[in-house]
Amino acid sequence: MESIGVLMACPMSSYLEQQLDNRFNLIRYWNFSDKKQFINDYAHSIRAVVGNAAAGADAELIEALPQLEIVASFSVGLDKIDLNKCKEKGIRVTNTPDVLTEDVADLAIGLMLAVLRRICESDRYVKKGLWKAGDFELTSKFSGKRVGIIGLGRIGLAIAKRAEAFDCPISYYARSEKANTNYKYYPTVVELATNCEILVVACALTPETRYIVNREVIDALGAKGILIDIGRGPHADEKEMVSALLDGRLGGAGLDVFENEPEVPDKLFGLENVVLLPHVASGTEETRESMADIVIELARATTIKREAPIVSGDADDIAINVDVNVGVDIGDVGAKSGGKHVDDVGGIYGGFTPFSGHTTSFAPSSSCSACKCEECKNK
């Protein structure tokens, strides 16, 4: 075990926790009810914080850890990390893009099928012995439905490719039109919702994209429209969404994320046109283990003074430089580039690279490097 203090922000992968415990002096933040005592006892020994979509590192915690060098997110999303404070303190921020893209895209398609074909309801129908009383009512087909995607980053693209296999016409909204795709682009989310039957949220959670699915968008999607959210809960105005579902102004929803997790509006529980999941889009054993390995190697790469992958830029750049996952896909929606090299691929590499593929990290810099990898050249 290395004599490096690593703070785990909340319970997450048991594999990650075990591996961190084997390699570092692991400190479990949730075990401390007295945060002041925690700061007094451990603040000067902690050089890395590991968080996820539920808990990360706010400004107060970052200020309290004078030796902090890296905040590693066991997730794609960075919305639980104060990026501006990290920039100010010169602290690296890393996440785990790419590795979870396929799982999240798979689940998005699964939610579309589950809502339209009422798979969960049909399962309950059989298990309750109701089939003997008569056939299950007819459902709606998925093939050929018009699919609109908010955020055409890696996850958004992966969803689009899968939906195309079902002969679904694809359209999208992003901060700007993509030059490398033939998908129909709409400059506003309302226009996108008006022209699709299934609306998928696959963008970053930023101040600009909070409540990007509001009443106007929901009404544009309409009484036969389906909302799929595999991004972050606050992307949708939850009260408006629930109201629209209850009133019949929205045809259905497949939700993997919620505004105040793990709290879920109980009014959704009785709706058969809604499928609810407990934020598990990237929740496969294979992907979570790969994510854990990335987090561990990035923490070691930084704290033992080897160079971790870096993307230079400011906090605004980071909001579009990495895909969000798990749930969450950052894409390039609703952020400011400041004229710097920013895309939804991420990954500037230099020096030590502990693993292959793209993992974006952040360190403050007065200049911005441009990614030279083949994937980014093709963007």
330-370, pLDDT tens digit by residue? Answer: 333 333 223 222 223 222 222 233 344 434 444 443 333 33
* pLDDT beyond 50 at 5: yes
pLDDT of residue 304: 66
CATH level 3 topology of 5-98+284-319+351-377: Rossmann fold (3.40.50)
* pLDDT beyond 70 at 324: no
The answer to whether the beta carbons of residues 303 and 70 sit under 8 Å apart is yes
Active-site residue, 232 included: yes
Task: Identify the active-site residue in 47, 92, 154, 232.
Answer: 232
Q: How confident is the model at residue 14 (pLDDT cuts 50, 70, 90)?
A: very high
Helix (H, G, I), strand (E, B) or coil at 67: coil
Higher pLDDT, 31 or 222: 222
Contacts of 233 (CB under 8 A, 6+ apart): 257, 258, 259, 260, 261
Concatenate the DSSP letters of all residues of 168-205 into one string: --EEEE-SS--TT--SEE-SSHHHHHHT-SEEEE-S--
254-308, pLDDT tens digit by residue? Answer: 999 999 999 999 999 999 999 999 999 999 999 999 999 999 988 888 876 555 4
Active-site residue, 261 included: yes
Active-site residue, 279 included: yes
Question: How many Cβ atoms are within 10 Å of 184's Cβ, its own excluded?
Answer: 15
Task: Identify the active-site residue in 164, 261, 263, 286.
Answer: 261
Which phi and psi (to 5°) does residue 307 adopt? -90, 125
Measuring CA to CA, which residue among 299, 237, 254, 370 is closest to residue 95? 299
Q: Give the CATH class of 101-276.
A: alpha beta
Extended strands (E) in 197-356: 198-201, 226-229, 252-255, 274-276, 311-312
* pLDDT beyond 70 at 70: yes
Domain ranges in the chain with CATH number 3.40.50.720: 5-98+284-319+351-377, 101-276
pLDDT of residue 212: 98
* Amino acid letter for position 187: P
369-378, pLDDT tens digit by residue? Answer: 333 333 333 3
Q: How confident is the model at residue 97 (pLDDT cuts 50, 70, 90)?
A: confident
* pLDDT beyond 80 at 209: yes
Which phi and psi (to 5°) does residue 163 adopt? -65, -30
**Dist. CA 85–CA 315, nearest whole Å:** 9
Task: Identify the active-site residue in 162, 175, 235, 279.
Answer: 279
How wide is the angle at C-alpha 118 spanned by C-alphas 114 and 124, nearest 5°?
Answer: 105
Instruction: Give, for 159, the enclosing helix (H) or strand (E).
Output: helix 154-164
pLDDT of residue 2: 57
